[in-house]
Amino acid sequence: MGDNKDVDLKGKVCVTGASGYLASWLIKRLLLSGYQVIGTVRDPGNYEKVAHLWRLEGAKENLKLVKADLMTENSFDAAISGCEGVFHTASPVLGTRADPQTEILDPAIQGTLNVLRSCKKNPSVRRVILTSSSSTVRVRDDFDPLIPLDESSWSSEELCRSLQIWYPLSKTLAEKAAWEYCKENGISLATILPSFVIGPSLPREICSTLSDVIGLLKGETERFQWHGRMGYVHIDDVALCHILAYENADASGRYICSSDVIDNNELASFLSSRYPTLTVPKRFEQLDRPSYELNTSKMRSLGIKFKGLEEMFDDCIASLKEQGHL
């Protein structure tokens, strides 16, 4: 063993959806912190999809990729076996939305429950960290805009359905299902609720989040138009929040993970003045959306200091340019 005497220093953890935008960054942080990481992917042999993970520092020694599929029951058993912690970041790929129930909602709920059932079978698992979303908190029409939204708030399922916004609804239903299952089965759970994640991408393949950002930086307003007002957070902060909630023995419940909350036009003004060479839209059509702030004091109590807009967009744009997307 010689050089590897510290391999088990922090124990073994599983990260689902390992090749994704956030999961890749989380794995990078976990490896640097001294964890052994089991990452689940649909096809470990698809080198193009997973090459960026093998380039991470410590990957050759402490990373193992295992095949698992959200919609296949028991497929996470092997990956989670012997792990002390599970970070469930995987989300079903959003379909064409012709049938939101079977394409988006069912996979989000069943995928989460499949992972948790595997956790239940493994007595070694001491804590599960689930990646939820701040959209599980803010889609409602009955709050006081002068009082920042906190973890006690839940998005209205009825409002999500009437507005046909399936992502917030899928995240809300999946998180509620997770809380119910973990309560019934004595599993220690904490959920992280990031706002819109901005930052460098480790995978070369562009996810929907970054695709929207690229569109915005190239002058498109369509995909950002519906945001109205939005919280933003650096991807590195989101990864660190997951680890803080896992490592802190007293951490429990939900944690809103966000830095600045701003309107679209404030964002356009900030971006166009900071990056004058990019064709950022100057104005957005004003939407009649309620103003809100997010109370992040619970997350900050675990020791995180959130990076500002400048750092998150500087890092994101540098990464996009380096990969040839801008």
DSSP designation for 149: B
Q: Does CATH place domain 12-198+232-258+293-305 in 3.40.50.300?
A: no
By 3-state DSSP, what share of the chain in percent is helix, strand and coil, each rounded to 5? Answer: 45, 15, 40
Q: Please write the tens of the pLDDT for every residue from 173-194.
A: 999 999 999 999 999 999 999 9
Residue type present at position 47: Y
Are 226 and 263 within 8 A, CB to CB?
no
Does the pLDDT value for residue 157 go beyond 90?
A: yes
Q: Please write the tens of the pLDDT for every residue from 81-117.
A: 999 999 999 876 665 567 888 888 988 999 999 999 9
**Full-model pTM:** 0.94
Sign for the CA dihedral angle at 160, 239, 87, 302 comes to negative
66: number of Cβ within 10 Å: 17
Rounded Cα distance between 242 and 255, Å, is: 9
Are 108 and 123 within 8 A, CB to CB?
no
Residue 248: strand, helix, or coil: coil
The whole-number pLDDT of residue 265 equals 86
The whole-number pLDDT of residue 3 equals 42
Length of the chain: 326
Buried b (16+ CB within 10 A) or exposed e, 93-102: eeeeeeebee
Sketch the domain layout of the chain as residue ranges.
12-198+232-258+293-305
Buried b (16+ CB within 10 A) or exposed e, 285-312: eeeeeeebebbbeebeebebebbebebb
Within 13 A of 55's CA, how many CA atoms are on the CB side? 12
Chain-wide mean pLDDT for the chain? 91
Over residues 240-249, mean pLDDT: 96
Residue 19: strand, helix, or coil: coil
Structure tokens at 47: 């080198």
Rounded Cα distance between 242 and 238, Å, is: 6
Q: Sheet holding 127-131: strands in order across?
A: 63-67, 36-41, 12-16, 85-88, 127-131, 189-194, 253-257
Residue 115: strand, helix, or coil: helix
Does the pLDDT value for residue 277 go beyond 70?
A: yes
What share of the chain has pLDDT > 70, as a percent? 94
What share of the chain has pLDDT > 90, as a percent? 73
End-to-end CA distance of the chain: give it in Å, rounded. 45
